[in-house]
Structure 1
Amino acid sequence: MREAVEDGSGRETVGSVLRACQLLGQFGAERPVITLAELTAASGLNKPTVHRLMSSFVEAGWVHRDHSGAYRVRMPVFAIGSAALAGFDLRTEARPELEALASRFGDTAFLMVPSGAGAVCIDRVEGGKPMVLAAVAIGSVLPFHAAAAPVAMVAFDPELRRRVLAEPLPAFTGETFVDPAEFAAHLDEVRAGGVARSRDDYLQGVSAVAAPVLGSGGSLIGTISLGGHSDDFTGAPGDLRAAEVRAAAERLTGSLSTARF
């Protein structure tokens, strides 16, 4: 493989590695074969640089170039991806995000995943505020039509949405959605905004914000959420919580994306 010329500090070498990783990142299940022109357009790099880096991958046996000039990743890349997946755990990946949210706002941060019975809490981190949401512990199952995290799941999973809207929507408080048409309109708003907000709809005095963690093709994997005193989730403080939860979920989604080949 051709070596990059260093400038004495290693910056050129690092830059070449980053550009090479950027090119490999263009391949995926939805795009297994890519031409030189497509790689150039997608990466924003110039054609000679793309050709040089891809030729190095071909020489190393990581990429195959077919008779038409299109590129396809080879088994060594899949082996590395398999190693990443073998050590991948959703709770482990999400834990730093939960801890950061709980520490910043003092609320309780949750990681939840969908199940046949409802939204299951698989991890939680308590913040420094006195309210402890003991009603939502690890292993708790929440209904899909109440609380921010379950609602976010329904908004971002079309099949789950159809199922939930076809079932009765029992009330837990006076704020719970019980009318299918109203709930459907709310789900549209959540999907459009990218974040769900709840206020007193599952537990009185408790509000939450949640955002989806998505997998391949936008499929729902779970949610990251933050819950606490309702008074802390109104106005600018509520908007800030919503923005940070959404950003955390997007970072976790990105981690899932880079963990797949």
Structure 2
Amino acid sequence: MKVNVDLAGRAVLVTGGTKGIGFVIAETFLAAGAEVVVCGRNEPERLPAAGGRSARFVAADIRDAAEAARLVETVAGLLGRLDVLVNNAGGSPNSDAATVSPRFVERIVALNLLAPFYVAQAANKVMREQETGGSIVNIGSVSGVDPQPGTAAYSAAKAGLLMLTRALALEWSPKVRVNHITTGLVMTEAAASTYGEDGGAALAEIIPMGRMARPSDVAGTCLFLASDLASYLTGADIPVHGGGEVPARYLVTRTEPGRP
């Protein structure tokens, strides 16, 4: 049986939807019939498009609570409602926790934890007044449950985002559903250079699914969580990481001389 997700008439906001994973998320919702607004600090040269329609753009720095509230108010005014929020904006360069500046830590936590809170808070005010409520999807990271060297501030913020998701689900149900996606390694154009000269082939070998995630893998999960197929899901965390990573101890023992 083939099930097509039809979101015609739904209004969707994707933060950080002008590039990378967010761009594909926005395209996926457009393809499903939704009206989509993306935001970022600077207007991009190209907007997500699908099915002959394009996303709209609103400039906003969502690390500022007033800007986040203005963004949601603007989107609700443009589209007449707000059914889905995808808190996708985030990220961080690697940094040494011993020497990183307080300003850097503050900005990383603001982008990856406070900004999603601010936008979700404003979205909830709109969604709870709608008969059909709404759905919020927070895009997290495997770093929030399995930190790597150089990611202390980012990992702490992403761990907080997962707990925030569960807390908001408790407070805002049943009108507004709040769910979380834990993403693993995702192959995007911007990240390709960080995965090594082999384009990530070596990394793919330690993932049970045999490849890194594509942005479409994350986008499809967002579409599911926002749809009526997930109408009873709230406070959930869906890991989109291909099964995680093969344990290092297995890789070490497997490659030792004389071992199979």
TM-score range normalised by the length of the shorter chain = under 0.3
More helix by share: 1
Give the number of the structure whose alpha-carbon radius of gyration is greater. Answer: 1
Q: TM-score, normalised by structure 1?
A: 0.26
- Which gives a bigger RCO, structure 1 or 2 (Cα 8 Å, sep 6+)? 2
Q: TM-score, normalised by structure 2?
A: 0.26
